[in-house]
Amino acid sequence: MIIGVPKEIKNNENRVALTPAGAKELIKRGHTVYVQHTAGVGSGFSDAEYQAAGANILPTIEATYEIAEMIMKVKEPIESEYKLIKENQLLFTYFHFASYEPLTKAMVASKSVCLAYETVEKADRSLPLLVPMSEVAGRMAIQKGANYLEKPLGGRGILLGGVPGVLPAKVLILGGGIVGTQAAWMAAGMGADVTIMDVSLGRMRYLDDVMPKNVKTMMSNEYNIREMIKHADLIVGAVLIPGAKAPHLITRDMLKDMKKGAVLVDVAVDQGGCIETCKPTTHENPTFVIDDVVHYCVANMPGAVPYTSTLALTNATLPYAIQLADKGWKKAAQENAELVPGLNVINGEIVYKAVAEAFNMPYTPVENFLA
């Protein structure tokens, strides 16, 4: 298969979908890899390193899309890329379709095959290609939150861990999944007073067992959330419904009950956000303030630590990329059930139910294409 790796062009996105080591693994199996000029530079990988691994360097994004049968990316295509995507071309990347209708309609119109990292799913319902970036984003949420709690950046002027004789900050984490767990570890390690809210008793029992004593768990419901936000200094939104839009757990009217200078970090913003007032921001302009509450809503948080993120992502995606390249998307999905829910759009048809429902668009069962 001919594989193309374009340079990411989303604002301040420095990750790349394939490392030189990953390219070498594909090439030694007989595949051809084309990498756009300087695609890896933001993550610390030079064109020369890709060439040493056996990859070919192309000068432009247009040339990369034109030659490739499979495009490997990190973030969803943006508007300037829509016209470059070809019928039957396989796109393997994060899409988060349910949060952005224009992207969904553009991919339907392109008649390409869209396999989304975030909905590839194991038998135990875990999301193996979302996990590494969720781990990064969860840890970063606390770093960023602690930073924006500083007074010069609009926060309350509170140190996350406090000092002897002064109470630490109160951190509220909505969601006890990968993001929430990693955020809790970081916040706890910095000495904060941490509460994780979740709807699963089983998950909370697990977290109670593994977390340090400064982490508590609490059932997530509207009443409890309304009570807890009154006291929180930093709130991390970490709720995910695979492939679907995140529910709004904190609504516009709740902000008036929060402390002035409190900080909201919505890690779910690329899936619509679980905080109603959060809208996607960029690393260039990461925050805004509503009702004296600081909102940090960067949609590609791991892009700020591209070296770590690129290595973590390639570790997870490469085994699936090899299967797709070796067998083609259809046979790979027939033989590996984990890839089936990753298929979101095929040749102009939406085959992931939650995406179709998000925009009231026609849905076609994916089995129609795999029979």
Residues annotated as catalytic are 96, 270
Dist CA 223 CA 13 (whole Å): 38
Query: Which distant-in-sequence residues (6+ apart) come within 8 Å of 186 by Cβ?
Result: 138, 139, 141, 142, 143
User: Residue 342 is encoded by which pair of tokens?
Assistant: 């990753």
Show the CA angle centred on residue 262, arms to residues 257 and 265, nearest 5°: 110
For the annotated binding site, the residues are 15, 75, 134, 198, 203, 220, 239-240, 267-270, 298-301
Q: Are 354 and 99 in contact (CB under 8 A)?
A: no
User: Residue 119 is encoded by which pair of tokens?
Assistant: 């909905």
Query: Which distant-in-sequence residues (6+ apart) come within 8 Å of 17 by Cβ?
Result: 5, 72, 73, 74, 92, 93, 313, 314, 317
Show the CA angle centred on residue 115, arms to residues 112 and 120, nearest 5°: 165
For the annotated binding site for NAD(+), the residues are 134, 198, 203, 220, 239-240, 267-270, 298-301
What angle in degrees, to the nearest 10, is found between the helix axes of 20-27 and 306-335?
Answer: 30
Place of tokens 């360097």: 57
For the annotated binding site for substrate, the residues are 15, 75
CB atoms within 10 A of CB 132: 21
Place of tokens 């009570």: 227
**DSSP code at position 179:** H
